[in-house]
Amino acid sequence: MPTIRIALLDMYNNFPNEGMRCIRQLLQQAEAANHVRFEVDTFNVRATAELPDLEYDIYISTGGPGSPLPSNEPWEPRYFDFIDALFAYNATAERKKHVLLICHSFQLVSRHLGLGEISKRKSTSFGVLPVHLTPAGHADPIFAQLPEPFYAVDSRDYQLTDLLPERLRELGVDVLCLEKERPHVPLARAIMALRFSPEILGTQFHPEADGEGMLRYMRTDERKQQVITAYGEEKYHEMVRLLATPEAIALTEATIVPSFLRRALAATSEPVLA
């Protein structure tokens, strides 16, 4: 049974979260489904400035709390040096490194590459929300498996908007999907996923979100009260309903990360010709 090395970049800065549980669960499922063994090392990036080297096969950089805007924190230049090294490696190597950037990581890398404007939203986007595919999304090997629209867990105070077309063309970046349509709101729609390269995928939403596990979590008295207090009872009940709908979060969870891992594993197992 082949062993695949995975670097999990924990961007949660020691804050409690559901994301790490969901990612680890998906990795366990992918091991069984693909008959491989994952050797997973976790790097506590923001709390201790830990970064992996380039000896791993797959990299997953998580979501996290806080601002993606420039800071003086010591981890930030090290993180961007690592991202630059990954892109540089893939530019010349025959066997590429596959990378998934989630939420906070997606925002950071988009800012670092100068793709558009990263800004704070007028209000938090929170809930199980529709996401709309672009033409590139409909043609993407992963996102083409999803309906139009599909549903995803969204939880963010910041957004990527006002993309620079010249920069996207220069880097070969494709826009895969946008946030829900808001015809009554005269604001730009946030970018919800980018394919930075054939091997590097980024999502603004949380593709790792586990509908069943999150439903249990949302139904706890403490979390229920937190959501109702912050967003209202109607928003709470809508989120619970969509978490329980198989065609919503369960479909997204079963598609994006598992497909990303399958594609990465297929590329890793291909022989490299001399």
> pLDDT per residue over 41-83, tens digit each?
999 999 999 999 999 999 999 999 999 999 999 999 999 999 9
Please tell me the number of Cα atoms within 13 Å of 137 on its side-chain side: 22
**Is the Cα torsion angle 70, 73, 74, 75 positive or negative in sign?**
negative
From 89, 77, 274, select the one nearest 197 (Cα to Cα). Answer: 89
* Structure confidence at residue 124 (pLDDT): 83
* Cα angle for residues 9, 11, 13 (degrees, 5° grid): 130
pTM here is 0.92
Average of pLDDT values for 213-229?
83
Q: What is the average pLDDT value for the chain, to the nearest integer?
A: 92
pLDDT 10s digits, 132-157: 999 999 999 999 999 999 999 998 99
* Structure confidence at residue 14 (pLDDT): 96
pLDDT 10s digits, 166-205: 999 999 999 999 998 766 665 688 999 999 999 999 999 9
Q: Dmax over Cα atoms in the chain, in whole Å?
A: 61
H/E stretch holding 120 reads: strand 117-133
Per-residue b or e along 171-196, where b marks 16 or more CB atoms closer than 10 Å to that residue's CB: eebbbbbbbeeeeeeeebebbbbbbb
